[in-house]
Structure 1
Amino acid sequence: MNATVSSRRNMVKVWSPYVRLFHWALVLSVTVAWLSSGLIVKVHELAGYSAIALVASRLLAGMVGSRYTRFAQFVRGPRAVTSYLGDIAAHREKRYLGHNPAGAAMVLALLVTICGIALTGWLQTTDAFWGVGWLQTLHQLLGNTVLLMVGLHLAGVLLASLRHHENLVRSMVTGKKRAPEPGDAT
């Protein structure tokens, strides 16, 4: 009983309600868009417009949102990302309270890819690009790419959860993570 109370006391709020709502709403939008692709055009389009609206809100929140929401807090350059990936391979990566450098790179890559999907999807509704084969192919390629990226994202979440003894999925539901310990990056 005391261990439970103690562990709850050592939790800190990291993910704001906005970040958690954004995350799960984007998961839902991308899932619905993928499942309705080629079947229910209006549902597919609505899911796509929802996804791009969510991404636009995330870009704004990345500039003016709470601490762990801001891009300035977690976006790192390519050298930091590759160094972190090397640390993962060597089993010496630091635990990050917010996004780790690899996770941050994935966030940016997902946002850019979803923008590409939305743009190519929207262009197909215009007179200039209606029925253009290469654009349809690119839209499908980006859609499949985002699925691969989601798989990599989930693998990274699982790996970090196991390595750092922390349920990262639960933290995206509750907003809380274990308090920083010596050696952790905040």
Structure 2
Amino acid sequence: MASDITQSMARPLWDLPTRLVHWALVVLVLVSWFTGGENMQLHRWSGYAIIGLLVFRLWWGVAGGSTARFAHFLRGPGETLAYLRTMGRRAPSQGAGHNPVGAWSVLAMIVMLLVQVGLGLFASDIDGLESGPLSYLIDFDASRQAAELHELTFRIVQALVALHIAAIAFYWFWKRQNLIGAMITGKRPFQGEALRPAKLWSYLVGLVLAVLVAWFISKGLKF
């Protein structure tokens, strides 16, 4: 009985930095989407902010809270395939953090966003009037190619977002798990070790790295 009560109680799972990065990326990807070609100044600012968030998330994946670390939730091919064979079962899995498929989707999203914003830094429009801060490092033809790939990779990002939303709906309706609530409150019922928060110095280092990298890139790698 005591065990059942413990498992049904919400426990700390996602730390505040992880949740803030998640929701800030949601907002900024939407801002970048709707400002591309319309308000390039805001489009650039949102891109720089996304770079800063991704830098922080990469750092947090190494030195952040226990459940935010890549080593905590990334699984090998065997375990991922085993999960795929059982994921349709209605009985909810109450493990801590991301399941194996969700973990790889998180990594895929981070990688594609890095590629997406990276290409934008080198891109130029057809008239050469609007250019990324690093476009001066390559010739115009290469810069135009970067712009085309920048648009193409955003379609991949959109597809990953759609899959993410579909997975949330699957867990909500089939497995009866509210993943959105957990990413808002940072808590949910689960089995296993609860979140071990990171040290204060990890927050500060991550914040400084994020700001410096975003600022340096926005200045075209120039002081």
Do they superpose with TM above 0.5?
Answer: yes
Q: Is residue 153 of structure 2 the alignment partner of residue 153 of structure 1?
A: no
Equivalent of 2:183 in 172, 181, 186: 172
Ranked by relative contact order (alpha carbons within 8 Å, sequence separation 6 or more), the top structure is 2
Q: State the identity as a percent.
A: 31
Partners in 2 of 1:72 and 1:21 — Cα distance?
Answer: 20
Aligned residue for 2:216?
Answer: none
CA distances 1:41-69 after superposition (whole Å, capped 9, x unpaired): 11111111111110110010110111111
Structure 1 equivalent of residue 99 of structure 2: 100
State the TM-score, normalized to the length of structure 1.
0.86
Q: Deviations over 1:6-47 (max 9, x none)?
A: 79x811010111111010001111110011111111111111
Distance change >3 Å, CA 161–CA 97, structure 1 → 2: farther
Mapped contact 2:94–2:189 kept (Cα < 8 A): no
Provide TM-score, normalisation by structure 2. 0.72
Q: Which moved more, 1:140-149 or 1:94-103?
A: 94-103
SS of the equivalent of 2:174 reads: helix
> Separation in 2 of the partners of 1:85 and 1:92?
14
Alignment-derived partner of residue 213 in structure 2: none
SS in 1 for 2:188: strand
Determine whether 1:136 maps to 2:147. yes
Deviates more, 1:89-98 or 1:41-50: 89-98
Give the total of aligned pairs.
177
CA RMSD of aligned residues (A): 2.3
1:72 corresponding residue in structure 2: 71
Which residue is 2:207 aligned to? none
Q: Distance in 1 between matches of 2:158 and 2:81?
A: 22
What is the rounded CA distance, in whole Å, between the counterparts of 1:118 and 1:129 in structure 2? 19
Structure 1: unaligned runs, 5 residues or longer: 1-5
User: For residue 217 of structure 2, what is the aligned residue in structure 1?
Assistant: none
The answer (yes or no) to whether the contact 1:113–1:142 under 8 Å persists in 2 is yes
Structure 1 runs (4+) greater than 6 angstroms displaced: none
Code of the residue aligned with 2:152 in structure 1: it is L
Where 2:87 maps in the other structure, the secondary structure is helix
Q: What residue number does 2:218 align with?
A: none
